[in-house]
Amino acid sequence: MVELRENETRILAAIDKHDGKATVDALIAETQLPDSAVMRAALILQENELVKIHANIETQLKLTAEGETYLQNDLPERQLINAVLQQGGTSNLTEAAKNTSISPELVQVALGWTQRKKWATYNPKTNTLTVPQPPKVEDDEKLLQTFKGKQQIPFNQLTSEQKAVAETLKKRRLLTVEDKTQRILSLTPIGKQTLKAQGTAFGAEIALTETVTQLKPEHITTGKWRTLKLQPYNIQAPVAKTYGGKKHPYLAFLDEVRAKLVTLGFQEMTGTVVEAAFFNFDALYTPQDHPAREQDGIYYIKNAGEANLTAYPQTIQNVKATHENGDQTGSTGWQTTYTKAEAKKLVLRGHGTCLSARTLLHKDLQIPSRHFSIARVYRPEVVDKTHLSEFNQVEGIVIDKNLNLKDLLGVLGKFAKEIAGADKIRFKPDYFPFTEPSVELSAYKEGFGWVEFGGSGIFRPEVTLPLGIKEPVIAWGLGVDRLFMMRACMDDIRCIFSQNLDWLRKKEVT
């Protein structure tokens, strides 16, 4: 025989009082136990096959705050019609609306419904509304009135016509549709036998023994402990699943990328999100009339003043000369007029390469050396499954005397295979104002497909020489968000920043 505790016995007796079947709400009222205690006892009783729990899902209709307002004051179209009738059946729309509680932005909505319901005629030239006679009460008004004195109405109690009207009111955001689960507990044959075995006929009270989970000082001092029954601790009882705190999977991935680069001898570059156009564009040999500098290509900081570039007078002169005529680089430059005003504009950095430019200009730069950054960057992109307007880039440069394109391709291949878990990689020629040659990296993973990760190349002399660097510099800027997409087998970049707790909880810790 199953040994029952106090609450479980009370629930069994309460169900029996209701002819062997009762809702959770009825059991709460009968036993005066909280909802959680009733459900906990019910689950234990179900495990022991003493009761069955049936879930009955009911769809309920409930008025929104706007719907409640119209329940008290009539629908806006009815208010408008009544105001016109008070003026003799014809009235200026604006004047009629003033005599209602309709907000100005809803006047046209109310007018539209008067036309849809054919309650009135409207002359747009004179802005006049004419109502030939008081219109009858429509079905949507009747349904609205059924909510008087009620918080909600069961959807299945409506007729087919009323259900169609309810859909219209839902579209007007006057009511909401919610599914409410009602749980019903019924006694099983074993449950009935258990009640009899405990010395009770159906509907009779059960003599309960007080059960406690812990002894208190008063139990000891009064001697009550002798008659108390201690509740046994069931180590096999099911418990609620708990989820310990952990780092977001994407942040953990960024830490892994950072650790691998540091292990390979790279030093991390850091910088501000707000950057001077000089470092974001000019120092990278991007002409001042380039489309990427238009407002649909970069975010400019409004009313932020100018960047302070007084620490780089010689560098600015070198970059200016390079843009205008090529200077010492051997090229002809862009053959355009370079202005310092354009260079001083402040932007949200559009790529991490601006950090590379600052690093090459740093007085403590050592050659050879390796540098990287994991930078949040910003572009006015159209957000879709592969693009965000705010995303992360992993940027890297290597400075050494004997570097060539083969070294660059080797580094990129290592990235794609070891960090993103790619099965195959491919390179194709590309174009960037600041690198030559330029290469685009794409990678393939079985079951995921091909993904473009970003661009790379060898910095042009027009970039390095104005900054005082004579050695070759290989550089890359990869979308680390896409690296993680391949690693986690995601097909939508927006899911990386998801607030889906189920996914976050179940994602394994790496």
245-267 pLDDT, tens digit each = 888 888 988 998 899 889 888 99
Residue 127: pLDDT above 80?
Answer: yes
Mean pLDDT across 343-354: 93
Cis bond leading into 368, ω under 30°? yes
Mean pLDDT across 275-282: 94
Report pLDDT for 285: 94
Report pLDDT for 509: 67
Mean pLDDT across 355-380: 92
Report pLDDT for 247: 86
Which sequence spans correspond to the domains of the chain? 6-50+188-230, 63-176, 252-273+351-504
Average pLDDT across the chain, whole number? 87
Selection from 373, 407, 372, 370 nearest residue 392 by Cα: 373
The Cα 108–Cα 311 span in angstroms is 60
Report pLDDT for 494: 86
Q: Can 63-176 and 252-273+351-504 be said to share one CATH topology?
A: no
Selection from 241, 260, 439, 435 nearest residue 357 by Cα: 435
Report pLDDT for 442: 87
- For the domain made up of 252-273+351-504, give the CATH fold: BirA Bifunctional Protein; domain 2 (3.30.930)
Residue 484: pLDDT above 50?
Answer: yes
With vertex at residue 199, the alpha carbon angle to CA 198 and CA 204, rounded to the nearest 5 degrees, is 105
Burial 231-255 (b: 16+ CB within 10 A, else e): eeeeeeeeeeeeeeeeeebbeebbe
Contacts (Cβ under 8 Å, ≥6 apart) of 507 = 249
Mean pLDDT across 30-56: 86
Residue 207: pLDDT above 60?
Answer: no
Residue 510: pLDDT above 80?
Answer: no
* Predicted confidence band of residue 40 (pLDDT cuts 50, 70, 90): confident
Least confidently predicted of 190-199, 332-341, 490-499 = 190-199
Mean pLDDT across 45-73: 88
Residue 403: pLDDT above 50?
Answer: yes
Report pLDDT for 10: 85
Report pLDDT for 199: 55
Report pLDDT for 244: 80
Residue 31: pLDDT above 90?
Answer: no
Residue 224: pLDDT above 80?
Answer: yes
Report pLDDT for 178: 86
Residue 357: pLDDT above 90?
Answer: yes
Asked: is 63-176 a CATH 1.20.120 domain? The reply is no
Neighbours of 146 (CB within 10 A): 14
pTM score, two decimals? 0.56
Report pLDDT for 206: 44
Mean pLDDT across 331-342: 93
Mean pLDDT across 354-369: 92
Mean pLDDT across 135-140: 92
Selection from 257, 505, 239 nearest residue 393 by Cα: 257
Contacts (Cβ under 8 Å, ≥6 apart) of 441 = 412, 415, 416, 425, 426, 427, 452, 453, 454, 455, 456, 476, 478
* 171-184 pLDDT, tens digit each: 999 999 888 888 88
Cis bond leading into 437, ω under 30°? yes
Mean pLDDT across 294-316: 91
* 442-460 pLDDT, tens digit each: 888 887 888 888 888 999 9
Neighbours of 492 (CB within 10 A): 11
What tokens does 300 get?
């400019």
The Cα 168–Cα 462 span in angstroms is 65
